[in-house]
Structure 1
Amino acid sequence: MPWLVLGLWIAVLAIASPFASQLADVQRDRAVDYLPVNADSTQVAEIQDRLPGGEATEMVVVYHRDGGLTAADKATAAEQIDRIAGAHTLTGTPQGVPSKDGTTVMYPVASTEPGQDEDARDALVGDVRDVAKGGDGLSVEVGGEAALLTDSREVYQSLDGPLLYTTVAVVALLLIIIYRSPFLWLVPLAVAGVANYLSMAVAYGLNRWFDTPVSGAGSGIMTILVFGAGTDYALLLVSRYREELRRIERPYDAMVAALRGCGPAVLASSGTVAAGLLCLLAADLNSTRGMGPLGTVGVLCALAAMLILLPAILVLLGRRVFWPLVPRYGSTPKARRSLFTAMGSSAGRRPLAVLAGGLVLLGALALGTLNLPGSLKQQDSFTSKPDSVAAMETLAAAFPERGTRPLTVVTPTGRADATLTEVRQTRGVDSAERGRSGDGWTELAVIADSPPQSAGETATIESLRDRLDGSYVGGTSAEQLDLKDTSGRDRMVVVPIVLLSVLLILVALLRSLVAPLLLVAAVVAVWGAALGIGGLVFGPVFGFEGTDPGLGLLSFVFLVALGVDYGIFLMHRMREECLNGAEPVAAALTALRTTGGVIASAGLVLAATFAVLTNMPLVQLVELGFVIAVGVLLDTFLVRTYLVTSASVALGRRVWWPGRLSRAPEPPVPPKEPERVAVSAH
């Protein structure tokens, strides 16, 4: 049987191989791939695709000299812009806009050559950068939306290799420490690699068949989940398998017993994560909604590999895979007082005091959310400073009194002149010009009199949207505003759905209402505390200028779904002990003693895999990885070990209400003495 399973997996990988290698080809990181489905800015981007030439590629070439531009500098700028215009088809003749202090001149450059082709867009930006060169004190930078997108895409494309290699290295190191074996760590790591490869093929299939969006961030999170969640499942299975090998002689029979023992918990755990991630489909934000299916694919592929392929390989390798700590048949592990036994004892002696202290600590940490920086601006989304960000900073300093990135208004062609007049009369508009027309629409380029993504420009965007009935307002700043607004809406919609779905799964698994409510309340408290710690370090320590609008929702979904995992491992073992006749307090302490080490190991691995994101060059990934890693550690070493155990001890049988375990067993009825029958003497 194990050989058959291994052969089937080899066949599956052979079929999946051509598809997995094509996932990078369908990855899209355009602005429209991240925008809300029904937002104004999304409508603008889609209409621009239908205009002559398709979506415009907009850049701005910035020439700057600290002491003021010289005549030679201006001549150099004009000559380079002419060369760019001669080599490419631009939507108009670029006109230089000088700053009041004479230090800077900017040339807006737009072309429809690339259309929706991201490679062509990147090539165009590269060509412009090759031509626009400075020297001898003259700095030349290429910014604008197209340059920002090109720099972002370069970052996302660079993630795949380093993210995978770093994740594998971190997991390998932790498994070596946990297993203390020169061979055993290789098995779950290799199986996780197989699961990751399979998930890439499935994700590609979903994109081809159902048009599921694949972004750089989404595919990166999928890899993290495969290795993090998959290794967690492997740790639980291997721990139970080692335990069964001491009781059962044949490895095959021991594995069957291990799967029967921990299989339901692993299935419920993965089901909870998958259900939580699928709730992201209710989000209106394209990037958030697309992350749901990708994350679900990663978790389910990890589950399949760890419950089917990993057991087959372990059985084939036999006991020797555990060398040098081989679990001998009939042996007993050395009895020693573990850390989790000590933790359980303290929680058992004074459960209410421990519970109150933990809640106060989590509440105090959650206050850090008040210190979270404001919404992240597009130019602040890199941990380093690419050329496009440097250009935006130069423009912000040189043109503090006006916008440097145009807003885009698309309006029905029949009303174009009237709309243009109304736009120019709108408060906050510096200038407006007519652009392309086609497919019944006309494009207007609008310059605000406030800096990009400032309160003044936001007010201008909102005024235009209020006044221009039947028209749409887009552009980079409008996109960022829509991202922020829609993230708030998505939180209000997705969070209740996630809580309800997770709660229903827990109720079905634990046959209780109190225990599921306890676990859900615990993970919500962890989320608040982890986000609060982020508020304490993002600005003061990391120097981040803002918080990604989607951080709250994504961190909530991941922490609730993944955090409940450990609660399931603990409570399922507690319930198993109760079913075997143990009293509630003893069951809680036994569950902590037997699963504490596995939960700690799993938590360390999962936290470390998400911590890999903190080494990435994008602020939103660093913030997400930090909050989830910190939350998992809090959940593992504080909430599961102390708070859930203390609450279970304090509640006693009531933790299983209204299930049958909440009722004290009826005392055994003593057997009736046989009636004595008088025998008459004859």
Structure 2
Amino acid sequence: MPTWLRIVIPAALILVWLALFGAGGSAFGQVSAVSTNDQAQFLPAESEATRVQEIAAGFRGDEVVPAIVVVESVAHDGAASSLTDAQLEGIAAAANSLQAVDGVVADGVSPAIVSDDGQAVELFVSIDAGVKASAVVADLRADLAAAFDEPWASDLTVAVTGPAGLAADIAGAFTGIDGLLLLVALAAVFIILIVVYRSPLLPLIVLGTSMAALTVAVLVAVALAKAGVVLLTGQTQGILFILVIGAATDYSLLYIARYREALATHERKWNATWAALRGAWEPIVASGGTVVAGLLMLLVSELNSNKALGPVAAIGIVCAVLAALTLLPALMLWAGRVAFWPRRVTVRGETADEVPDAPTRGLWPAVGRLVAKRPRMVWITSTLVLGVMALGLTQLNADGVSQSEFVLGASEARDGQQVLGDHFPAGSGTPVLVVAPEARFDETADVLLAADAVIGVTVVAADAPGGSLAVTAEGVAPSAIPGAPAADPTVRDGQVLLQATLDSAGDSLEAEATVTELRASLASIDGDVLVGGTSAIALDTAAAAVHDRNLVMPLVLAVILLILIVLLRSLVAPLLLVASVVLSFGAALGVSALVFNGVLDFPGADPTVPLYGFVFLVALGVDYNIFLMTRVREEARTHGTRAGIVRGLIATGGVITSAGIVLAATFAALGVLPILFLAQIAFIVAFGVILDTVIVRSLLIPALSYDIGRTIWWPSRLARGRR
């Protein structure tokens, strides 16, 4: 190749990536504007809760998100006391001022309702669903803080809760996702690379490659979100950041290891670059393809949040692979041997066709000798250790948690929900919505009134003060306001909308159980009766998550197995690799369950936690086995299977361990965000990756493969001893 092309090609690659990096920089600031954390948008359109939400919007005339303002009187000694007339007047004035807040619908603030014990007040604020509820709640809280900064309010506490308040607290927990999270992840990777390479330049090259991949991935994801092609959520954003940084760094480490080997056998940097690419491109593309294929299996999910994560994360992995195979080689070609300074990489005198002897001193040669001497003992012991860890699965509680538990640490909405439960029906403000045919109104109302968990039923009546009328065993009660005109329940398309207030919080598991019972009872009356509302949304989301978990997991295993069969030209090795990562996942999840319950005292886990943990651990765990077994296969062609296993383990031991530590550290960075879901994913994946790199890839797979011998490659020619 002409010398000028050897200059132009890497320079052009670097310039293209720099241009993309510059174009994508502004996309980081747009992620929060196009993302949503509204749980209702995660459900499929055909779910019962979604259908009720659409019908209910027609009764109200617009879609709203309810916020509940709760005020409690607390004396200086901490005991509750009755509200005074002056305090009630001040609360009423503060409530009137909330109508002026942008995003609150016209006549969207209800009169203040005093609790039966006289110690608390609640009022309902309807927020336009078309605006950011978190921003409106922030304004409401600011206005209330200013209004209650008066002498009459010295003994009062005020909080904004309800669905809008909880959504605002969740959104607030994600505020550091594009700052703190990224900073922590990059700092962790930088420190690890400094320790591994003891070079000031190489970590900068690797992190520059990873950031370029992330920037392009964010640019594409934001453009697709704006076009309505994908749904961006806070958790998707956090996982995208971590996944791209970790994967791009892993792929970079694999290439750098090959490049360093090539520099020892090639005098010219250009020749070393091509040699490194020949050795690295297949495992990198195969590893990236495995992760992409696993992530794309999420597209068959019912939950829109799962569907969104699949393509968004897959885009990130594709960007990581492209950066590792184009930008990184160009940067390393530019830096050459200087990249490893102060260490020296000199030519050892071998030609490109000569094979250097494997090292005999150090950690990985010692591990290789152990595997070769006691293979059966090593793989049986490793399997038993993982199996014992997996026993913790019996303690896993992944049936769901209430939405108020999503945020770790302080939450005004959660505290407000507690106050509501102390003084009011816990389900006030978040009623169960029941859509029934007009002809079945009486039977539907009877079922609702007969339910033990239902403490009040109303029916929407647009002409009534407050927009609803109470329903009793005797029928629809007239308006309680003296002189108010007579009103009838609103009927739209032959349907009425009833609202049932529960004795448990709308986001609680108890409320979900009540919805399940009501659906069963009402179905016996008429199959057209639909039950929705906040509790039903949470219930349907959990049910869809369980469906997705049971469907996606087998599909991920099947597609990864097919990729491994094609890559390794074998049936035995792929089956063993897939079985090993499944065992490793079970061990990671088992230990995680014990830690969540006994150490961290988490209230439980969302049903999507095992699914996400499975997708990431199985796909990423296979990555390290791919790195190992592709090198083993390469060595086996020349030295035979058993010798090739030892040589491949020694050659890849350091780089794969470093890659595993990097990926574990990046996923652990998710723990800095006070979100229960992300904290659990962070621990499961970080711990699982360490298990994969330390036990599965270092001991279990090499020892098992050594014990089986060349049959591991059956039915390829290597299984018959042909090299």
When the two structures are superposed, what TM-score results if normalisation uses the length of structure 2?
A: 0.86
Match for residue 629 of structure 1?
686
Matches of 1:32 and 1:450, distance apart in 2: 20
C-alpha offsets along residues 341-368 of structure 1, whole Å, 9 cap, x if unaligned? Answer: 2222222222222222111111111122
Match for residue 68 of structure 1?
81
Q: CA deviation at 1:515?
A: 0.7
Indicate whether 1:317 and 2:341 are aligned. Answer: no
Range that drifts further, 629-638 or 120-129: 120-129
Match for residue 549 of structure 2?
491
Range that drifts further, 563-572 or 88-97: 88-97
Matches of 1:416 and 1:141, distance apart in 2: 39
Match for residue 266 of structure 1?
284
Distance 1:103-1:616 versus aligned 2 partners, 3 A rule:
farther
Match for residue 656 of structure 1?
713
Match for residue 259 of structure 2?
241
Match for residue 615 of structure 1?
672
Q: CA deviation at 1:86?
A: 7.3
Q: CA deviation at 1:465?
A: 2.2
Matches of 1:40 and 1:124, distance apart in 2: 33
Residue 163 of structure 2 contacts residue 430 of structure 2 at CA under 8 Å; is this kept in 1? no
Indicate whether 1:606 and 2:663 are aligned. Answer: yes
Indicate whether 1:56 and 2:53 are aligned. Answer: no
Matches of 2:120 and 2:35, distance apart in 1: 36
Range that drifts further, 476-485 or 356-365: 476-485
Matches of 2:594 and 2:720, distance apart in 1: 46
Q: CA deviation at 1:642?
A: 0.6
Q: CA deviation at 1:419?
A: 7.2
Distance 1:3-1:51 versus aligned 2 partners, 3 A rule:
farther
Matches of 2:306 and 2:213, distance apart in 1: 23
Residue 167 of structure 1 contacts residue 609 of structure 1 at CA under 8 Å; is this kept in 2? yes
Q: 2:111 aligns with which of 94, 98, 106?
A: 94
The letter for the 1-side match of 2:636 is: C
Match for residue 81 of structure 1?
95
Please list, as runs of the form range in 1=range in 2, the aligned pairs for 1:577-596 lying within 5 A after superposition: 577-580=635-638, 582-596=639-653
Distance 1:454-1:214 versus aligned 2 partners, 3 A rule:
closer
Q: CA deviation at 1:307?
A: 0.4
Match for residue 190 of structure 1?
208
The letter for the 1-side match of 2:515 is: I
Range that drifts further, 354-363 or 223-232: 354-363
The letter for the 2-side match of 1:458 is: E
Match for residue 584 of structure 2?
526
The letter for the 2-side match of 1:34 is: F
Match for residue 515 of structure 1?
573
Indicate whether 1:463 and 2:517 are aligned. Answer: yes
1:318 aligned counterpart, secondary structure: helix
Residue 483 of structure 1 contacts residue 549 of structure 1 at CA under 8 Å; is this kept in 2? no
Match for residue 455 of structure 2?
430
Residue 196 of structure 1 contacts residue 227 of structure 1 at CA under 8 Å; is this kept in 2? yes
Matches of 1:402 and 1:321, distance apart in 2: 63
The letter for the 2-side match of 1:612 is: A
Matches of 1:553 and 1:511, distance apart in 2: 29
2:69 aligned counterpart, secondary structure: strand
The letter for the 2-side match of 1:218 is: T
Distance 1:635-1:132 versus aligned 2 partners, 3 A rule:
farther
**Gap runs ≥5 in structure 2:** 1-8, 350-355, 463-489
Match for residue 680 of structure 1?
none
Indicate whether 1:111 and 2:101 are aligned. Answer: no
C-alpha offsets along residues 481-522 of structure 1, whole Å, 9 cap, x if unaligned? Answer: 222221111111101110001000000000011111111111
Matches of 1:375 and 1:5, distance apart in 2: 47
Residue 62 of structure 1 contacts residue 104 of structure 1 at CA under 8 Å; is this kept in 2? no
1:159 aligned counterpart, secondary structure: coil
Indicate whether 1:30 and 2:38 are aligned. Answer: yes
Q: 2:605 aligns with which of 517, 538, 547?
A: 547
Q: 1:393 aligns with which of 418, 421, 435?
A: 418
Please list, as runs of the form range in 1=range in 2, the aligned pairs for 1:217-228 lying within 5 A after superposition: 217-228=235-246
Match for residue 363 of structure 1?
387
Q: CA deviation at 1:90?
A: 3.6
Distance 1:185-1:585 versus aligned 2 partners, 3 A rule:
same
C-alpha offsets along residues 11-68 of structure 1, whole Å, 9 cap, x if unaligned? Answer: 4445545656533321112222333453222333344555555322212222222333
Residue 173 of structure 2 contacts residue 407 of structure 2 at CA under 8 Å; is this kept in 1? no
The letter for the 1-side match of 2:148 is: K
How large is the Cα RMSD of the aligned pairs?
A: 2.6
Residue 69 of structure 2 contacts residue 125 of structure 2 at CA under 8 Å; is this kept in 1? no
Q: CA deviation at 1:326?
A: 2.4
Match for residue 5 of structure 1?
13
The letter for the 2-side match of 1:81 is: A
Q: CA deviation at 1:385?
A: 1.9
Range that drifts further, 279-288 or 605-614: 279-288
**Gap runs ≥5 in structure 1:** 667-682
Q: CA deviation at 1:10?
A: 3.2
Q: CA deviation at 1:453?
A: 5.2
Q: CA deviation at 1:369?
A: 2.1
Matches of 1:210 and 1:664, distance apart in 2: 55
Residue 251 of structure 2 contacts residue 284 of structure 2 at CA under 8 Å; is this kept in 1? yes
C-alpha offsets along residues 233-276 of structure 1, whole Å, 9 cap, x if unaligned? Answer: 00000011000001011111101011101110000000000000
1:185 aligned counterpart, secondary structure: helix
Match for residue 291 of structure 1?
309
Residue 431 of structure 2 contacts residue 533 of structure 2 at CA under 8 Å; is this kept in 1? yes
Range that drifts further, 18-27 or 483-492: 18-27
Matches of 1:266 and 1:235, distance apart in 2: 10
The letter for the 2-side match of 1:70 is: L
The letter for the 2-side match of 1:156 is: F
Match for residue 480 of structure 1?
538
The letter for the 1-side match of 2:14 is: L
Distance 1:424-1:123 versus aligned 2 partners, 3 A rule:
same
C-alpha offsets along residues 586-623 of structure 1, whole Å, 9 cap, x if unaligned? Answer: 11111110001011000000000000011211111000
Matches of 1:415 and 1:86, distance apart in 2: 41
C-alpha offsets along residues 377-418 of structure 1, whole Å, 9 cap, x if unaligned? Answer: 21111111211011112233445x753452342526756845
Please list, as runs of the form range in 1=range in 2, the aligned pairs for 1:147-186 lying within 5 A after superposition: 147-186=165-204
Matches of 1:56 and 1:344, distance apart in 2: 64
Match for residue 675 of structure 1?
none
Q: CA deviation at 1:129?
A: 3.8
Residue 578 of structure 1 contacts residue 587 of structure 1 at CA under 8 Å; is this kept in 2? yes
Please list, as runs of the form range in 1=range in 2, the aligned pairs for 1:207-226 lying within 5 A after superposition: 207-209=225-227, 211-226=229-244
Residue 273 of structure 1 contacts residue 296 of structure 1 at CA under 8 Å; is this kept in 2? yes
Matches of 2:358 and 2:372, distance apart in 1: 24
Identical amino acids, percent of aligned pairs: 36
Residue 21 of structure 1 contacts residue 201 of structure 1 at CA under 8 Å; is this kept in 2? no
Distance 1:103-1:576 versus aligned 2 partners, 3 A rule:
farther
Match for residue 669 of structure 1?
none
Distance 1:119-1:404 versus aligned 2 partners, 3 A rule:
closer
Distance 1:476-1:104 versus aligned 2 partners, 3 A rule:
farther
Matches of 1:397 and 1:656, distance apart in 2: 66
Match for residue 156 of structure 2?
138
The letter for the 1-side match of 2:362 is: S
Range that drifts further, 645-654 or 427-436: 427-436
1:425 aligned counterpart, secondary structure: helix
Match for residue 377 of structure 1?
402
The letter for the 1-side match of 2:667 is: F
The letter for the 2-side match of 1:109 is: F
Match for residue 51 of structure 2?
43
Indicate whether 1:406 and 2:463 are aligned. Answer: no
Range that drifts further, 147-156 or 633-642: 147-156
1:142 aligned counterpart, secondary structure: strand
Please list, as runs of the form range in 1=range in 2, the aligned pairs for 1:305-344 lying within 5 A after superposition: 305-330=323-348, 335=359, 337-344=361-368
1:22 aligned counterpart, secondary structure: helix
Q: CA deviation at 1:150?
A: 1.0
Q: CA deviation at 1:574?
A: 0.8
Matches of 2:129 and 2:42, distance apart in 1: 19
The letter for the 1-side match of 2:113 is: G
Match for residue 476 of structure 2?
none
Match for residue 347 of structure 1?
371
